[in-house]
Amino acid sequence: MTVKIARNSGFCFGVKRAIKIALDAAKNKKDIVTLGPIIHNHQMVTKLENEGIYKVDKPAEINGRPTIIRSHGVEKEIMDLLEKNGIEIINATCPYVSKTQQVAKELHEKGFQVLIMGDQDHPEVIALRSYVEGDAIVVNNASELLNKKFKKIGVISQTTKHINDLEEIVKVLVSRCEELYVVNTICNATAVRQNSTTNLAKESDLMIVIGGKNSSNTKMLAKICRKFVETYHIETESEIDEKWFKAKKNIGITAGASTPDWVIVEVFNKINKCMGNNIEVDDINDIPGFKEE
């Protein structure tokens, strides 16, 4: 009976960076806020609260406090408002997200109808729209394009989406527009996680996907795993049911880009306990299959 983790699992570069920026800021300042959760993970948000970093949901709740901008960015209007009000901005927007915002702005300025492949309600997409003055078409996949025709269209993607869906959209658009400009803004961290998760799912009897139930990239990993094998998406070890592992030999674990290491370690140890393996680790680096990015 084996329990392995997908080679690239857990915190991505952008999330590691955002957490470091937040914790470094908390060393010198008291009472800092993040506008929205800094990452989509309840456990991490609670840990940050213990360090004096609190979440607020809207600018009106900031009350003059230094404000951390989360890894997936906020609307341009909000950045402008904070600056206007003299709020100290601690910008933890992931550089890949900032680049996507910049690309959206440039396409809009050059007269392209911007099409964003993404989830309408995802904070990253909401922020992206603000960089094109709200003038963007947002679709999740090619089937949502129906028989629409365009003159000049510029396609970008929410960073956590799947490349296959972007390819499908581009295929459909080619014959439906006069000019098509595509910028692949899907971040490498996402693709790398999706590939290593696919490889592990193919050789496993069961996959456990760890991460926030509202985390877009974790949900995508669960969707990929379900194509190959029985899959459970959990947030913490407390959701694990021993019955899942009956008659299973090879268990695979993967985790979204916003899942803290300690949560993954707890899940790994609990699965081994359920399977009767006498294995316990303290560090994610000791989980078979893991490779630091």
- For residues 255 and 9, is the Cβ–Cβ distance under 8 A? yes
CA distance 146 to 124: 25
> What phi and psi, each to the nearest 5 degrees, are found at residue 152?
-135, 110
Interface with ligand SF4 by CB under 6 A: which range of 43-51, 145-153, 163-171, 187-195?
187-195
Interface with ligand SF4 by CB under 6 A: which range of 10-18, 27-35, 62-70, 161-169?
10-18
Residue 15 binds ligand SF4, judged by CB under 6 A: yes
- Residue from 101, 160, 218, 231 binding ligand SF4 (CB under 6 A): 160
Q: What is the DSSP string of 131-152?
A: TTTT-EEEESSGGGGTT--EEE
Residue 204 DSSP one-character state: -
Q: Which is nearer to ligand SF4, 34 or 217 (CB)?
A: 217
Residue 204 binds ligand SF4, judged by CB under 6 A: no
3-state secondary structure of 12: coil
Catalytic center residues = 124
Residues 6+ apart with CB under 8 A from 37: 45, 55, 70
* Closest residue by Cα to residue 235 from 208, 216, 269, 217: 208
Q: How far is the CB of 156 from ligand SF4 (least distance, A)?
A: 13
The residues facing 251 across adjacent strands are 3, 206
Residue 14 binds ligand SF4, judged by CB under 6 A: yes
Q: Which is nearer to ligand SF4, 123 or 252 (CB)?
A: 123
> What phi and psi, each to the nearest 5 degrees, are found at residue 158?
-55, 140
Residue 97 binds ligand SF4, judged by CB under 6 A: yes
Q: Which is nearer to ligand SF4, 100 or 231 (CB)?
A: 100
Interface with ligand SF4 by CB under 6 A: which range of 30-38, 56-64, 169-177, 185-193?
185-193
Residue 44 binds ligand SF4, judged by CB under 6 A: no
Q: How far is the CB of 8 from ligand SF4 (least distance, A)?
A: 11
- Residue from 187, 200, 210, 221 binding ligand SF4 (CB under 6 A): 187
C-alpha dist (Å) from residue 273 to 93, 123, 211, 249, 287: 39, 38, 20, 14, 14
Q: Which is nearer to ligand SF4, 14 or 37 (CB)?
A: 14
Residue 19 binds ligand SF4, judged by CB under 6 A: no
3-state secondary structure of 245: helix
> Closest CB to ligand SF4 belongs to which residue?
14
Q: How far is the CB of 160 from ligand SF4 (least distance, A)?
A: 6
CA distance 240 to 266: 11
Binding site for ligand SF4 (CB under 6 A): 12-15, 71, 94, 96-97, 159-160, 187, 189-190, 217, 257
